[in-house]
Chain A
């Protein structure tokens, strides 16, 4: 009997081993990334750096010949080929994704320096083709691809910012971002439960970026009606598929930078991402990292779409804290690294240094100098850039390392271009009961008026008195042409106020609204309640006219453009302006007293209950004083004796 058991066990083990071997011998065909096309293409190029990220990539797979073995299961896992290529019988396909990286360095008039990285991955694929699952990721990060597929996302924009962009001192940024975390998502029309998808999406993103985006819930999510339009291609814009949330309290640190860097194809090993070292990046006045995913046109005819992932990182280094008060900036001083090579997977890798104010080297000296210059109209202003092309190995010189150095010759700085649109916000009033929110919007254009769409999200615990809303420009009432207001519901949703205002030229428009502060339950306060509560920023969206005058171009769809600069010179440009977030104090209960309060209040209720109970259940009687103990004992004895009582 025991022998049978043992033999059965042995048989099972043998069977398990055999099946394991057979399974292991087949390469993981469904999971594996290696495709015949890109692999062989990559092998033909000089340097291969396998992408080290968390997606399932096998190190070096079997040679190209062996993939012909099992064509049936292979083709299930990979994308369908272009019929023309299939007909041509070629197994090798051109890669349908490309990656570009750029860095723009712009010295600011206050002595600070602004560096803007943009990493752009474009992939000609369709995540939503029915019946086929995208499984082979090369340059596009798999985690984001899965997010897009699972939640049927059409566009995703998330940004993490530390610091506030000082428009008046630094000019307009390439891509503005508010302090804290901001997330807005357009879902596809096929999504039935947008709120459920939003909730899951925020939690998944919070895991991907190691940020506490899971604090986004219905109390800080809004559905703006007019402030957002999809930035990618798309025909239907039904606002019910849009969700916008902001977390002004969110802090950005190395924990958020590391997963962001991991999404890049080359990681932080080669290319421009080598410069992204957190000890220098977070020692800055402004740091903003963002991820933007949107569908774009593949070419100018726009017959099919491809997906674009743009990762941007903007950082402003302060003259005094990072620059040691010397007006001399270099890559090594800013990032404590120099560049050694471009990312091999990148089709273009460029550095642009803004030399507009430096004609003939009058203001600062740029070394190593480069002959190539390019001009572009950025944010309505024509700027000149010196271009360093890192794909060309000559850019690195003899030492195989590139350290761009800007040394100022003179102490004076160029005049800064005054920003056309600028916003400020503050809380007025005193005490913990009421207050007033003032939003100021400056229009600095000398003669043009333009409309601005203002979006305000105020949490529910500031009870806005919308009847006190007033908009004044130049001390006169300025009636908004469009107002959309959604009142808040306690503990459910915030206030949403959108207004279309016409800003007169060269003026300040002031929007004021009074509010009352609510007392919250003691569990709803943050651990540091006397710090205050953050109220999100106000956002102004506008299309501005360029100072350069009107240009005759047709407004092109800038989706096709590859670089951070728009490809066609336009007379108008889109700008988004953020104001500061607010910090508001709320009245607090005493947090040490829950038990005491319960006891005291219940005591008062019991006093009421007790006195009424007494009066209800007892009746008046004449008070006979009870005899003393001695008399009572004497009475007992007397009763026993049968003698009259005392």
Chain B
């Protein structure tokens, strides 16, 4: 009986939602039937991703980081503010960058509790304070536990100082290592600050633009962290790529997907080749590997911005209709202005 009621309720909700939108873009709205297999696809995308397998073979602790972030997303979706704060604190404790996931989680929980995101409303501030206190409290607890375990504060410069100041220049798939290996000494501090601010810097504008779409905001933040963090690994890439099936409905609006997938595939295969040529064969130098690093990161950036473009475009169509006409009635093209 309850199942029947739930089903009827869902259908009514769907019909109500459908009425909000212009009639020609009904095909853009997703039905629950379509979305039935998305969790399975996400799991497959993560578990069968060659990058995940590579990070497991390397016995990297990236899997643990990914697990904590996934638990955090799960708890946020389920609406449990305390658990989500605890897992976010754990993720931040491991590496500082998940701190940027605080606003999307907050926005999602506010949306779930039907509190409008308006700076004048006291309930907004009340919930924000609550969530912030829970997060900061758990973070402080974990840090203090580490202090008692170690009996000194030495771990803070060793862990967080290391992540922020990038002393180790071992080649990886990111942009930092060669940049700081070739940096002029007097500009080193400046560029470290620039690169670190670059990660935290997109949080506010993205949150403002995507305040009604916190789930996509989480995806964007995770992607930005994976690309621009100081020591990225392929395990981090696997995490945000696992989300792509969730946005499979955006496929029709993606502009560069073929190019991007070719670039990513080619770079992934060229990485070990050029590494071997540089380190073992000695017939290439570090520039070869560096070039592939650059290309790989450009590919990732294009992928992320392409999905962002597609998302915003779909939103626009949902507002204004799918088939747009110009003033003279001919078919219009949509540009960013």
> Is the CB–CB distance between A519 and B290 below 8 Å?
no
Contact status of A605 and B175, CB under 8 A, knowing A615-B312, A620-B334, A620-B336:
yes
A496–B6 alpha-carbon span in the complex (Å): 69
> Is the CB–CB distance between A622 and B326 below 8 Å?
yes
A519–B285 alpha-carbon span in the complex (Å): 13
B322 to chain A, nearest CB (A): 13
Asked if B171 lies at the interface with its beta carbon under 8 angstroms from chain A, I say yes
Q: Which of A580-626 contact B (CB under 8 A)?
A: 587-590, 593-594, 597-598, 600-601, 604-605, 607-609, 611-612, 614-616, 618-624
Q: Which of A587, A594, A619 has the most CB of B within 10 A?
A: A587
A289 to chain B, nearest CB (A): 37
Question: Which of A185-193, A235-243, A427-435 lies at the interface with chain B?
Answer: A427-435
A478 to chain B, nearest CB (A): 29
A623–B169 alpha-carbon span in the complex (Å): 47
Asked if A518 lies at the interface with its beta carbon under 8 angstroms from chain B, I say yes
Contact status of A623 and B305, CB under 8 A, knowing A519-B181, A590-B287:
no
> Is the CB–CB distance between A604 and B301 below 8 Å?
yes
> Is the CB–CB distance between B183 and A612 below 8 Å?
no
> Is the CB–CB distance between A615 and B169 below 8 Å?
no
A430–B279 alpha-carbon span in the complex (Å): 9
> Is the CB–CB distance between A608 and B305 below 8 Å?
yes
> Is the CB–CB distance between B305 and A604 below 8 Å?
no
Contact status of A619 and B337, CB under 8 A, knowing A518-B168, A608-B228:
yes
> Is the CB–CB distance between B178 and A605 below 8 Å?
no
Asked if A360 lies at the interface with its beta carbon under 8 angstroms from chain B, I say no
Q: Which residues of B contact A608 (CB under 8 A)?
A: 227-228, 301, 305
B42 to chain A, nearest CB (A): 24
Q: Which residues of A contact B202 (CB under 8 A)?
A: 612
> Is the CB–CB distance between B336 and A615 below 8 Å?
yes
Q: Which residues of A contact B326 (CB under 8 A)?
A: 622-624
Q: Which residues of B contact A588 (CB under 8 A)?
A: 285-286
Asked if B36 lies at the interface with its beta carbon under 8 angstroms from chain A, I say no
Asked if B309 lies at the interface with its beta carbon under 8 angstroms from chain A, I say yes
Q: Which of A522, A600, A604 has the most CB of B within 10 A?
A: A604
Nearest-CB residue, chain B, relative to A521: B181
Nearest-CB residue, chain B, relative to A600: B294
> Is the CB–CB distance between B181 and A520 below 8 Å?
yes
A249–B63 alpha-carbon span in the complex (Å): 44
Asked if A523 lies at the interface with its beta carbon under 8 angstroms from chain B, I say yes
- Which residue in A433, A490, A523, A597 is a CB contact (below 8 Å) of B167? A490
Asked if B32 lies at the interface with its beta carbon under 8 angstroms from chain A, I say no
Contact status of A519 and B305, CB under 8 A, knowing A587-B279, A620-B316, A622-B324:
no
Asked if B298 lies at the interface with its beta carbon under 8 angstroms from chain A, I say yes
A605–B175 alpha-carbon span in the complex (Å): 9
Asked if B263 lies at the interface with its beta carbon under 8 angstroms from chain A, I say no
- Which residue in B286, B301, B309 is a CB contact (below 8 Å) of A607? B301
Contact status of A594 and B336, CB under 8 A, knowing A520-B169, A587-B286, A608-B228:
no
> Is the CB–CB distance between B336 and A519 below 8 Å?
no
A116–B294 alpha-carbon span in the complex (Å): 61
Interface Cβ pair total, 8 Å cutoff: 124
Asked if B198 lies at the interface with its beta carbon under 8 angstroms from chain A, I say yes
Q: Mark A507-536, 1 if CB is under 8 A from B, else 0.
A: 000000000001111110000000000000
Q: Mark B210-253, 1 if CB is under 8 A from A, else 0.
A: 00000000000000000110000000000000000000000000
- Which residue in A431, A521, A604 is a CB contact (below 8 Å) of B175? A604
B140 to chain A, nearest CB (A): 28
A614–B308 alpha-carbon span in the complex (Å): 11
Asked if A491 lies at the interface with its beta carbon under 8 angstroms from chain B, I say yes
- Which residue in A430, A594, A616, A619 is a CB contact (below 8 Å) of B280? A430
Asked if B329 lies at the interface with its beta carbon under 8 angstroms from chain A, I say no
> Is the CB–CB distance between B298 and A597 below 8 Å?
no
Q: Which residues of B contact A519 (CB under 8 A)?
A: 169-171, 177, 181
Q: Which residues of A contact B132 (CB under 8 A)?
A: none
> Is the CB–CB distance between A623 and B175 below 8 Å?
no
A431–B309 alpha-carbon span in the complex (Å): 44
A413 to chain B, nearest CB (A): 44
> Is the CB–CB distance between B178 and A601 below 8 Å?
yes
Q: Mark B135-171, 1 if CB is under 8 A from A, else 0.
A: 0000000000000000000000000000000011111
> Is the CB–CB distance between A607 and B206 below 8 Å?
no
> Is the CB–CB distance between B294 and A612 below 8 Å?
no
- Which residue in A433, A490, A621 is a CB contact (below 8 Å) of B335? A621
> Is the CB–CB distance between A597 and B305 below 8 Å?
no
A615–B312 alpha-carbon span in the complex (Å): 8
Q: Which residues of B contact A615 (CB under 8 A)?
A: 209, 305, 308-309, 312, 336
Q: Which residues of B contact A605 (CB under 8 A)?
A: 175, 195, 198, 228
- Which residue in A607, A609, A621 is a CB contact (below 8 Å) of B298? A607
> Is the CB–CB distance between A624 and B181 below 8 Å?
no
> Is the CB–CB distance between B337 and A589 below 8 Å?
no
> Is the CB–CB distance between B334 and A518 below 8 Å?
no
Nearest-CB residue, chain A, relative to B191: A598
Q: Which residues of B contact A600 (CB under 8 A)?
A: 294
Nearest-CB residue, chain A, relative to B175: A601
Contact status of A620 and B286, CB under 8 A, knowing A432-B280, A598-B179, A607-B298:
no
Contact status of A622 and B332, CB under 8 A, knowing A490-B168, A519-B169, A616-B209:
yes
Q: Which of A394-444 contact B (CB under 8 A)?
A: 430-433
A576–B170 alpha-carbon span in the complex (Å): 37
> Is the CB–CB distance between B168 and A597 below 8 Å?
no
- Which residue in A587, A598, A612 is a CB contact (below 8 Å) of B308? A612
Q: Which residues of A contact B177 (CB under 8 A)?
A: 519
> Is the CB–CB distance between B298 and A594 below 8 Å?
no
Q: Which of B285-337 contact A (CB under 8 A)?
A: 285-287, 290, 294, 297-298, 301-302, 305, 308-309, 312-313, 316, 324, 326-327, 332-337
A259 to chain B, nearest CB (A): 34
Q: Which residues of A contact B4 (CB under 8 A)?
A: none
Asked if B93 lies at the interface with its beta carbon under 8 angstroms from chain A, I say no
> Is the CB–CB distance between A593 and B182 below 8 Å?
yes
- Which residue in A490, A522, A598, A621 is a CB contact (below 8 Å) of B337? A621
Nearest-CB residue, chain A, relative to B180: A521
A414–B195 alpha-carbon span in the complex (Å): 70
> Is the CB–CB distance between A597 and B334 below 8 Å?
no
Q: Which residues of B contact A611 (CB under 8 A)?
A: 301-302, 305
Asked if B121 lies at the interface with its beta carbon under 8 angstroms from chain A, I say no
- Which residue in A430, A597, A612, A623 is a CB contact (below 8 Å) of B333? A623
A620–B179 alpha-carbon span in the complex (Å): 36
A590–B206 alpha-carbon span in the complex (Å): 37
A622–B324 alpha-carbon span in the complex (Å): 8
> Is the CB–CB distance between B327 and A624 below 8 Å?
yes
Q: Which residues of A contact B305 (CB under 8 A)?
A: 608, 611-612, 615
- Which residue in A597, A618, A621 is a CB contact (below 8 Å) of B178? A597
- Which residue in A520, A609, A616, A620 is a CB contact (below 8 Å) of B313? A620
> Is the CB–CB distance between B278 and A587 below 8 Å?
yes
24 A-B residue contacts at CB 8 Å?
A: A431-B280, A433-B279, A490-B167, A518-B170, A519-B169, A587-B279, A590-B285, A594-B182, A601-B175, A601-B178, A601-B179, A604-B294, A604-B298, A605-B175, A611-B302, A612-B206, A615-B312, A615-B336, A616-B206, A616-B209, A619-B336, A620-B313, A621-B335, A622-B324
The 3 A-B pairs with the shortest beta carbon distances in the complex, nearest first, are A611-B305, A618-B336, A431-B280
- 18 new A-B pairs (CB below 8 Å) besides A519-B171, A594-B182, A619-B337? A432-B279, A518-B169, A519-B169, A519-B170, A520-B169, A590-B286, A594-B184, A598-B191, A601-B178, A604-B175, A604-B294, A604-B298, A605-B195, A612-B202, A615-B336, A620-B336, A623-B334, A624-B326
